[in-house]
Amino acid sequence: MSTLAQLLPKAEIHVHLEGAIQPETLLQLATRHGIPLPASDLDGVREFYRFKDFLHFIEVYTLICRCLRDPVDFHLVTREFLRNQARQNILYTEAFFAPGHFLKQGADLGAIVSAIRQAADEAEREDGVRFQLIADISREMGAGFALEITREVLRVRDRGILALGIGGAEAEFPAEWFEESFALARSAGMPVVAHAGEAAGPESVWNALRVLGARRIGHGFRAIEDAGLVAHLVAEQVPLEVCPTSNLRIGLVESYDRHPLPRLLEAGCFITLNSDDPPMFNTDLVNEYEVARTVYGLSPAQLFELACNAVRASFLPDTDKVALLGTFRARFEAIPAELRS
């Protein structure tokens, strides 16, 4: 029996392409390229996806990126990812990918982006899902290489890169290090977004806004620790890309019911729900909406509003947002009344 969380039309704006690779596909890629993993069978790879802490997660993520070597790989994982998005009734996705890892491997970024775009175009034709790409700088690579990454991203942006982001260990590699890269992207007319307020506190969110000029905040749930920051986020309606299961699995919150999402909503923050790295955290966007319904007690109308928020917070042109919101409304109203009440 289909649930409201499944039937609800959805958009997702915080999910990582590399982190969405299924264990079966990772094993296939590693075998193809002769890259050793800490496990040689599927059960072992699934166990490999279990993390000790945030820094261990980054180590695992880096190894996964090593298994992506050429455009064929990126076409494969993008197509698989978007089929899964379609199965969840996700009509629009903005996904991060980490070009720095692949530039370090000597890859042709333009060819990679073109392969991703080709897979996205196929998915839109065949499955009716739309997809955009956000180039995500890994903080651990440092300020100098971040600037190189940004220049390369801008060089190939017309092949299908929508925006620039930054992720990684925010406490150890603060926003100030990357000010030049983000100023360059903004001056070129590229929107920017930053992971912040996840593994570090409110100051990280303030710096993402003030130093980097971020238009959205990835995660951002630790903003709740600073009443002044919460008031600013509410007044400016800065979108937060909240990923409850991710925060739980990495150990940043003790349990779902200890997550500040309900308090952020009650304060009037602009919230979107997202899955982050779905197979790595044993979740997907349907599950995140189900958690919001069952744990946080959100009504069908509130869930629909969260889904629409992801469209509103997206980097789509305004005319596209209006059209997509109309589609969302029509699909929501077509859901059986007993699930919408």
Q: Which residues are catalytic?
A: 198
- Distance in angstroms (rounded) separating the CA atoms of residues 209 and 194: 8
- Distance in angstroms (rounded) separating the CA atoms of residues 73 and 299: 40
C-alpha to C-alpha distances, 238 to 175, 212, 232, 263, 298, nearest whole angstrom: 18, 14, 8, 16, 21
Helix locations, the chain, DSSP H: 4-7, 23-33, 42-48, 54-66, 71-87, 99-104, 109-127, 142-156, 179-187, 202-210, 227-236, 244-250, 261-267, 285-294, 300-313, 318-333, 337-340
Sheet holding 90-97, edge to edge: 10-16, 90-97, 130-138, 161-167, 192-196, 216-219, 239-242, 270-273
- Distance in angstroms (rounded) separating the CA atoms of residues 272 and 108: 33
| Ramachandran area for residue 66 (φ above 0: left; ψ -120 to 50: alpha; else beta) | alpha
The structure tokens listed for 252 are: 């940043």
Number of other CB atoms surrounding residue 262 within 10 Å? 15
Contact 7, 335 (CB under 8 A): yes
C-alpha to C-alpha distances, 100 to 107, 133, 137, nearest whole angstrom: 10, 15, 7
